[in-house]
Amino acid sequence: MSVASIVLAAGRSARMGAPKALLDFRGRPFIVRILEALEALDLKTRVVVLGEDGSRIRPAIAGHDCLIVENPDVDSGPIGSLRLALATLSQVRPPAVLVWPVDLPHVRVATVDRLVESYRRSPKAIVLPTFAERRGHPIIWDAKLFEEIESSDAATKEGVRAVLHRHESEVQAVAVDDPAVIEAVNTPEDYERLVREWNRDIY
């Protein structure tokens, strides 16, 4: 069975001032670029978690084969959205999930392909990219960690990184030549930088 994928797009985008999922990157909304990458890699099943801007985002992804989950409590943060997505996937029982935050639309398809291949070849439970020795996203989580992600009190308080820290010995870090893995787009300044750099063909 294929690695499943989860796109986290439920945040309020407060610092950006507009839904990040709908910002343009190379002629497509962020969220569509990510879904197209996942489709190109044939990663099934695809789950998208939306929040308060869900009604605005749904039309943009209507033509894509994905399960849409609404997070009614966006204050629960990314861990709350991840838990909702895992609950949605409970009947599918994928061997692992690739978790891709919507504010990283410029990660290369080849980079994600490397992560998936590394997971398939590695006994490690967590596979993540690094650039310039910094850890980034997206991250692949093996199914044996799902229960802990869903129930850990530490993860409720600190986010899923609490699970990562507890399983450092099970992390496979994959060095990639892709700065996008560490360059989340959270503010208008970040977005302006992204536009400048894609116009220079950096991504």
Please give the domain boundaries of the chain with CATH numbers for all domains. Answer: 4-199 (3.90.550.10)
Q: Evaluate whether 153 touches 75 at the Cβ level (below 8 Å).
A: no
pLDDT at 202 (0 to 100): 54
Tell me: the pLDDT tens digits for 95-139? 999 999 999 999 999 999 999 999 999 889 999 999 999 999 999
- Residue 104 neighbours by CB under 8 Å, 6+ apart: 34, 136, 137, 138, 180, 181, 183, 184, 185
| Res 203: pLDDT | 53
d(CA 25, CA 10): 19
Cis preceding linkage at 45, omega within 30: yes
Distance separating alpha carbons of residues 161 and 203, to the nearest angstrom: 27
Ranges under pLDDT 70 in the chain: 1, 201-203
Q: What are phi and psi of 26, to 5 degrees?
A: 55, 45
For residue 100, the SS3 value is strand
Q: Are 134 and 175 spatial neighbours (Cβ–Cβ below 8 Å)?
A: no
pLDDT at 57: 97
Is 0.75 topped by the overall pTM?
A: yes
| Calpha distance 23→56 (Å, rounded) | 12
pLDDT of residue 200: 72
Provide the H-helix boundaries in 42-76.
54-57
DSSP state letter for 3: P
